[in-house]
Structure formats: structure tokens, C-alpha cells
Amino acid sequence: MDLLEIILLITGVAIILVSVLLIHNPEKENQTDTENNDNAVKQYIDKLSSLSENVIDRTEEYLNKISNEKIMAVSEYSDQILEKIDRNHEEVVFLYNMLTNKEKELKDTLKELTDTQQKARELLIKYREGQNRESPEDIYPGENTVNMNKTEEQNDNKSVSKKNEEILNLHSQGMSVLEISKKLGIGQGEVKLIIDLFGK
């Protein structure tokens, strides 16, 4: 073998060795690819988690805002309902008091009628038996008390009608039911009832 052949052989072996060394090892390439993929996945997961946190925060803020608005609306509505209930309660109490007073008056009148009827029966029995006749004052002893009761009722009616006129005058001047009730010191239900009854 000549020198040239030996040099060519050595050169060929060197080229093969260099080419083998220069070619990448596929395992190393796979490792770098998986590392790159892992890094990309981690970055993607980090971005997704930050985005999801932002979305969750925004959603919580929006839901808090909506719930606060709804709570305020419910609170206002409940205040209105309670106010109406109070007004209706005052009117019912006023009407109940009026009915109680009327019931008491009717019972008193019925009692007076019963007493008068009993006295009339007794006088009729005495008259029929021919016993001593009594004067008209003795026959109707309760007449003076009835007249006194009538006078008191007339005075009460006058004060009530005066109060009614005052309420109607204040209402015609443009005052509200609440203002009238505060000024006169009576319930709103009574004022509203008088306006409804007599205002027309």
C-alpha cells in the first residue's frame, strides 16, 4: 500500500468518525424535545391558571355587585311592605275602636231600653192592680238622665264634627295624611278614613 492509500484510508475513517460524532444522538434530541414540550405545557398551564383566576375574580365581583343590588331592592321593598302593614294596622285599630265604641253605646242603649221596659211593666202591673197611682215624674224617673246623656252625646258629636271639618280643611289645603295626623295628634288611619268618608 502506498502512502496515498493509507492517507485516504485514514481520512475516510476520520470522516466517518467525525460524521458519527456530528450526528445528533436521537435520545438526546427526544430528551430536549420532551423538555421543551414540558416547558411549553408548564407555561400554557400557568397562563391558563392566571386567566382562570382573573375570570373567577371578575365573576365574583360581578356576582357580589348583583347580590348587593338585589339585597338593596329587597330591603326597599320590605320597608315599603312594612310601612303599608303599619298603615293598615292603624286603620284596623281605628275601625276596631270605633266598632267597640258603637258596641258599647248599643249595649248601653239596650240596657236602658230593658230597664225602661221593666219599669213600664211594673207600673202597668201596679196600675192594673189599682194600687197607688204615681206622678209622671215617678213613672219616668230616668228621663232626666236620658236628657243628660243626649246632651253629652250632642257635645261629643259637635267636637267630632269640628275635628272632621278641621281635617277636611287641612286636606283641602294640600296637607298629606301624615302631616294632618301629626298636627292634630291622631292616627293616620282615622285621618284617611274621615277624608275617604267625608271628603267626597
- pLDDT tens digits, one per residue of 14-64: 888 777 666 655 555 556 667 777 787 888 788 878 888 888 888 888 888
Neighbours of 65 (CB within 10 A): 10
Instruction: With a cut of 80, say whether residue 149 has pLDDT above it.
Output: no
Domain assignment of residue 177, yes or no = yes
Domain assignment of residue 133, yes or no = no
- Of 20-24, 37-41, 117-121, 125-129, the one with minimum mean pLDDT is 20-24
Domain assignment of residue 95, yes or no = no
Instruction: With a cut of 80, say whether residue 151 has pLDDT above it.
Output: no
Instruction: With a cut of 70, say whether residue 107 has pLDDT above it.
Output: yes
- What is the percent of the chain where pLDDT is above 70? 75
Nearest to 180 by CA among 166, 196, 161: 166
At 24 the pLDDT is 53
Nearest to 83 by CA among 75, 72, 93, 73: 75
At 165 the pLDDT is 85
Q: What is the DSSP letter of 130?
A: T
Domain assignment of residue 178, yes or no = yes
Q: How many independent structural domains does the chain possess? A: 1
Domain assignment of residue 166, yes or no = yes
CA 126 vs CA 115, 119, 120, 142, 176: distances in Å:
16, 10, 10, 18, 63
At 88 the pLDDT is 92
End-to-end CA distance of the chain: 141
Average pLDDT, rounded, for the chain:
78
Domain region containing 194: 159-200
Residues recorded for the chain: 200
Domain assignment of residue 187, yes or no = yes
Domain assignment of residue 183, yes or no = yes
